Each structure stands twice: as C-alpha cells, then as structure tokens.
C-alpha cells in the first residue's frame, strides 16, 4: 500500500508538471492546477510531491526499490524532454513508441516490478511482470491517443484533438501520414505548425484518418499489446489476482474515456 501511494504521488507530480509544459487549461474536466494557482507554485508543488514520494519510499529500507523508482523518474523526465524536442515534427512510429514507453509504459512496468521485488520474486518472474506492465501501458496510451481524436469534449474533459493542437503526432496520425497524399499531409502540417485548427477542421482530419483506416490500425496495435501483456503472465498459477490482471488489458482496449 505504501509503494502504491508512492507511485500515485510520482504520477501526480508528472501530471502537475505536464500541464505547465503543455499550458493545459483543464484536467479531467476541471481547471488544471496551473490555471488556478499559476506556474511558479505548481512547479514547486510538483517538486514537493516528488520529494514526498521518495521520503515515503525510503521507509521501505530497500535499495532495489529506490533504484527502480529513480530509474523510473529519470525515464519519465527524459520522455518529456524528448517530446518537447519533437513537438511539431513528423516523427516515425518507432520514435513515437519510444516516447510513450518512457512517458507511460515504464510507469506501468515499474508498478508491476515493485510488487515483484516486495514479493521476493525470481529474476524471471520480475521480468515477466515488468513486461506485462510495459505492454499494458503501451496499450493504454495508444487507446488514450485514439480517444483524444474521437471522443467528445464532455467525455474527455479537455478539448478534442488536444495532442495535435499541442504539436504532438500520435500513432493514428503517423499511420495516415505514411499513406496520404501531399495535400492531406499539408493539412496536418498546418495544425502542427500553428498549434491550432486554422483553416483546417477537426472533421477534415478525421476524414483523412478514416480514409486510411488509421484509427482501426491504432486500436489493433493496442489490442496486440494487450494480448502480449496477458501472455507475459501465462506461467503464473491461477488466482483471483491473476484473473484481475488478465482482465485489465481487455478493459484498457475497450474503454471509452
């Protein structure tokens, strides 16, 4: 429970800092912290949350846990820096997967590995659980990116296609860009350049994505990661906890918000 709280605090710290970096106005339908209290206070609040998380983690008196959490924090910060460097650029699918691995999947993976460390798992068991977490996290983020394009603002709690508005290309957009005409490509480039839908509508972008079945391709890739996550824990004996872990990837792919 203590380490569950630690991971939640680290996650919250990343969200506070992300909203500052992205200049976000809302978070899950409510005003983002930075819009209420300003960037300066929220930078400090995020820093305080990180330190609080490690203060609690130290109570475990376990260097492996501390090493794992430090590695996680470094990966997530590196992911954010890489994303900032790539904003507005037409990145490859491999570059995109590297980004979402660092920004999301590594957090899921570390959650599973911490449980393995506490449970006295073998090296192979820890690796299997880490792989489960990684693949679950990849599936989660790909679906999240699809929902950013397709769900309504009321469901998302933030503006539709906010990733594109922020200069971020995600899997469905990359899939379409690899297949579309120069004219269609130019429409996406305008949004990435202007960080706004100026002269190009969300409906036009959706039309391009639907023409090349890019949303379906992204959802299919998420389903592949979900199945891979389930396979990663095949060797563990049947239990209520294993059944819950087998259900989670299915939920992640089927969710609508």
The mean pLDDT of 227-248, rounded to a whole number, is 98
pLDDT reported for residue 121: 97
The mean pLDDT of 53-64, rounded to a whole number, is 96
Is residue 33 within 8 A of residue 45, CB to CB? The reply is yes
pLDDT reported for residue 234: 98
Q: Which of 110, 73, 113, 80 lies closest to 98 in space, CA to CA? A: 80
* pLDDT tens digit sequence for 144-160: 999 999 988 777 777 78
| Residues β-bridged to residue 26 | 31
Is residue 210 within 8 A of residue 173, CB to CB? The reply is no
The mean pLDDT of 117-131, rounded to a whole number, is 97
pLDDT reported for residue 256: 82
Domains of the chain: 1-61 (no CATH), 62-254 (1.10.600.10)
pLDDT of 94 > 90? The answer is: yes
pLDDT reported for residue 154: 73
| pLDDT band for position 257 (cuts 50, 70, 90) | confident
| pLDDT band for position 29 (cuts 50, 70, 90) | confident
Is residue 79 within 8 A of residue 102, CB to CB? The reply is yes
pLDDT of 103 > 80? The answer is: yes
The helix (H) or strand (E) run that includes residue 27 is strand 26-27
Ranges 9-23, 111-125, 219-233: which has the least confidence: 9-23
The helix (H) or strand (E) run that includes residue 184 is helix 182-194
pLDDT reported for residue 28: 79
Rounded to the nearest 10 degrees, what angle do helices 182-194 and 202-211 cross at? 140
pLDDT greater at residue 27 or residue 76: 76
b (16+ CB within 10 A) / e for 242-251:
eeebbebbee
Mean pLDDT, the chain, whole residue set: 94
């Amino acid at each position: 429970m203590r380490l569950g709280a630690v991971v939640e605090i680290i996650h919250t710290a990343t969200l506070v800092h992300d909203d500052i970096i992205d200049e976000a106005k809302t978070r899950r339908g409510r005003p983002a912290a930075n819009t209420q209290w300003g960037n300066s206070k929220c930078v400090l609040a995020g820093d305080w949350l990180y330190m609080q998380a490690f203060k609690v983690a130290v109570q475990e008196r376990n260097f492996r846990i501390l090493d794992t959490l430090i590695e996680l924090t470094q990966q997530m910060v590196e992911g954010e820096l890489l994303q900032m460097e790539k904003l507005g650029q037409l990145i490859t699918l491999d570059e995109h997967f590297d980004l979402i691995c660092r920004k999301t999947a590594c957090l899921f993976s570390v959650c599973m590995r911490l449980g393995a460390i506490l449970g006295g798992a073998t090296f192979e068991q820890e690796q299997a659980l880490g792989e489960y977490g990684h693949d679950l996290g990849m599936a989660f983020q790909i679906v999240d990116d699809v929902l950013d394009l397709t769900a309504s603002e009321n469901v998302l709690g933030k503006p539709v296609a906010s990733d594109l508005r922020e200069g971020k290309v995600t899997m469905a957009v990359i899939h379409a860009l690899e297949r579309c005409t120069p004219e269609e490509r130019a429409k996406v480039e305008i949004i990435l350049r202007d960080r706004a839908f100026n002269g190009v509508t969300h409906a036009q972008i959706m039309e391009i994505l639907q023409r090349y079945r890019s949303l379906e391709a992204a959802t299919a890739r998420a389903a592949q990661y979900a199945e891979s996550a389930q396979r990663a824990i095949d060797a563990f004996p049947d239990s209520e906890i294993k059944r819950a872990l087998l259900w989670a990837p299915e939920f992640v792919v089927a969710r609508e918000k």
